[in-house]
Amino acid sequence: MLTNPSQALIRNSEIYQQQNVLILNYEADTFASQCLESARHVTALAFDFNHHQTLLPYANDNLHCYFGHQLPEAIASKKFDSVIIYFPKAKPLMGYLLQLAAQHLDVNGLLMVVGENKGGIKSIAKLTPEYFSAPIKQDNARHCLLYTSYLRHCAPPLLLSDWVSQYALDTPQGQLHICNLVGVFSEKRLDQGTELLLSHLPDNLQGRVLDFGCGAGVISAALLKANPELQIECIDINAMALASCQLTLAANNMQATVYASDGFNHITGQFNGIISNPPFHDGLTSTTDIATQFVKHSAMSLAPKGIWLIVANRHLPYSDTIATYFGKVNVPAENNKYKLYLHEH
């Protein structure tokens, strides 16, 4: 099933007929594969690891699939006839995507931007830099807008440092230097949930520790500040989050293993600790399912005598799920918005 933006692109397939196409920030569908019915060759770069996993089984000689915040070094200088951008849910990421697209187009190369009417795409004219022509509305279909533009002249080189905000963050473990790329959720102060978590870290944490949904690396950096001996693994599905986490660790002279994982699907072995402010929020229909899977897989991945500590919105129905998979539920701390859940094997 194609998403609405993908359906809008299929309607306009004559635009990329017989072209060598680069698709940026694609969604959880197989449009890139169906695009080959018109395009000559497609390269697809996912910023979401789950979306990458959805498309990967369709890869072939004419469809190359990658995950990350930019194309691999070996093809980083490659040029395409046209670039398609799916307008991101995190609007600040759009500027980065436009500059990335410009790196892969020759002058007069075609840019297509597609997005849901309610998703911010109507602001595309204000967001488009001067090295592109003014975007022209090509189609309005499936509750989506499709715009086209052309690269007028070469864009400046893309430097990650231009897209990162850096700030000092006070935590219960001491001051940390945080690096946060556009498109990654962050506040320049410790959010309430993470503060509650870091204020109640167990003293006996040791060995291999998983930071699930690491974001910009705040929790991992705090853990390493408290105990540099920990072997921390930081996972996330967001390419910009993983890059931010690596920058944060480097800025604090810390080391951890940072990699993409869709839930627990890409980790191996067991952990002595699983610490998380899980990225689940109210209002998502799948919140309960995702939370259940998270707790279930946590229980399977926790080593004997391991420590499991998460903070969650107190309205989320965690207690029963934790009782099902872990048995005993401890709530060592809570406030009017969040609860800490602790299990020690």
Cβ atoms of 217 and 178 within 8 Å: the answer is: yes
3-state secondary structure of 324: helix
* Tens of pLDDT, residues 160-178: 999 999 999 999 999 999 9
pLDDT at position 287 is: 59
pTM reported for the whole predicted model: 0.95
The C-alpha atoms of residue 333 and residue 176 are separated, in whole angstroms, by 24
Residue among 338, 11, 54, 306 nearest 146 (CA) = 11
Q: Is 156 exposed, middle or buried (0-12, 13-18, 19+ CB in 10 A)?
A: exposed
Helix (H) or strand (E) holding 248: helix 239-251
**9 φ, ψ (degrees, to nearest 5):** -70, -40
Number of H helices, E strands in the chain: 10, 15
Number of other CB atoms surrounding residue 108 within 10 Å: 10
Structure tokens that stand for 4 in this block: 């609405």
* Tens of pLDDT, residues 261-280: 999 999 999 999 999 998 76
Percentage of the chain beyond pLDDT 70 is 98
β-bridge pairing 20-24 and 41-46: parallel
- At what angle are helices 218-226 and 239-251 packed, to 10 degrees? 30
pLDDT at position 228 is: 97
Cβ atoms of 114 and 8 within 8 Å: the answer is: yes
The C-alpha atoms of residue 27 and residue 103 are separated, in whole angstroms, by 22
pLDDT at position 281 is: 54
Structure tokens that stand for 342 in this block: 């602790």
Low-confidence ranges of the chain (pLDDT < 50): 282-285
Structure tokens that stand for 42 in this block: 């497609």
Residue among 96, 106, 84 nearest 22 (CA) = 84
Cβ atoms of 46 and 65 within 8 Å: the answer is: yes
Q: What domains are there in the chain, each with its CATH number?
A: 4-158 (3.40.50.150), 161-344 (3.40.50.150)
Structure tokens that stand for 187 in this block: 């506040």
Structure tokens that stand for 216 in this block: 């910009």
Measured over the CA atoms of residue 315, residue 283, residue 86 and residue 162, the dihedral's sign is negative
| Helix/strand/coil percentages in the chain, nearest 5 | 30, 30, 35
The C-alpha atoms of residue 13 and residue 319 are separated, in whole angstroms, by 49
pLDDT at position 291 is: 82
- At what angle are helices 318-326 and 287-301 packed, to 10 degrees? 30
Q: Name 335's bridge partners.
A: none
pLDDT at position 329 is: 81
